[in-house]
Amino acid sequence: MAPAGEKRGILERLEAGEVVIGDGGFVFALEKRGYVKAGPWTPEAAAEHPEAVRQLHREFLRAGANVMQTFTFYASDDKLVNRGHAQRFTGQQINEAACDLAREVANEGDALVAGGVSQTPSYLSCKSQDDVKAIFKKQMDVFVNKNVDFLIAEYFEHVEEAEWAVQVLKTSGKPVAASLCIGPEGDLNGVSPGDCAVKLVKAGAHIVGINCHFDPETCVNTVKMMKAGVEKAGLKAHYMCQPLAFHTPDCNRQGFIDLPEFPFGLEPRILTRWDMHKYAREAYKAGIRYIGGCCGFEPYHVRALAEELAPERGFLPAGSEKHGSWGSGLEMHTKPWVRARARRDYWENLKPASGRPCCPSMAKPDGWGITKGHADLMQQKEATSQEQLKALFDKANKGQ
């Protein structure tokens, strides 16, 4: 047990069977607020606009999250300067600022700080294992110096690169989680979810799971496959799930980035807070104890997770002071027909209309079918040229 006055670590909490609530999707949330540029999706806001990042951390903490992930998604040096993206801050400055902000807010509650690394342009461009591992180590060194509580390798489409990340992160001596952005079909090389999980556990991950690219239902089902693979191999792990807040029943192996609505037309797919109740319960029933969210998750979504699992956690989040259970606050509404909606069965069974009579309910995803090693995925420091863009426009117009 942790000494008096010290927070218990992530593994202590999970081994005790406790629910750990993760935070939400910083890059999408801050893009909508005007602090992140869609396209590169890099986190320089941690250094440029710390007040915005701090406030979002606080909102997730108030909503019930007890992990503050450092805003270091895509904060590797190669990604920060990819395709002509100019920076006023170094990767080290961004990573250090993100750690300080996460720790400041985590100390305001019973939250832990997780330092995160993610997939790199160098891997897609077929750089060597040593080159890619050096990128992860540079970020990890900042996290160790800032004494984060644990580390996450998240958002990996290829399990091989995730293994390399875990191998580096475990040298820190801190607990390591590994989260892939894959669905039931497996990674982009066709490695099954179960086999992916086994590889990650053998590489040194204590917690394995899924984040991003797919909706909660798909992600929970994929984690179930990972769990089955780990158990079949006679190994042990804890499990995490941090899905999208968008419905993706029509996605292929690549997930939501293949949807024609990505990234600027996804709003009609957003899950309601009541959908989040269902996700939290299904994840818990599946044996997943680290339950959070990724792109599209706003604080009210995280609050719904915390409210659904309040019986297991033993408390409600601070944000529930302004939210009646299952719409009970509507009892105070002035209109009687709205007061009539102040009940669980109404919201639990509602089938929301989109208000878009000429729009389809499902889309046809792009299916370019390219991955590591393909010429179109070779990354560069220079800005994408007009000639390169024209070639891509022509491919898209021809339907690949």
Q: Which residues contact 46 (CB under 8 A, 6 or more apart)?
A: 53, 70, 71, 72, 94, 95, 97, 98, 101
> Are 96 and 113 within 8 A, CB to CB?
no
Nearest to 147 by CA among 96, 89, 203, 205: 96
Residue 219 in marked binding region: no
Residue 212 in marked binding region: yes
Nearest to 125 by CA among 159, 92, 79: 79
Report, in angstroms and rounded to the nearest whole number, the Rg of the chain calculated over CA atoms.
21
What ranges in the chain are assigned the alpha helix state H?
10-15, 26-32, 45-48, 50-63, 77-80, 91-106, 121-124, 129-145, 159-169, 193-203, 216-232, 273-285, 299-308, 310-313, 336-339, 344-349, 386-397
CA dihedral sign of residues 218, 220, 221, 225: positive
Strands 238-242, 150-156: pairing kind: unpaired
Q: Hey, what amino acid is at 245?
A: A
Residue 359 in marked binding region: no
The CA distance from 256 to 130, in Å, is 31
Nearest to 13 by CA among 120, 96, 115, 110: 110
Residue numbers belonging to the annotated binding site for Zn(2+): 212, 294-295
Residue numbers belonging to the annotated binding site: 212, 294-295
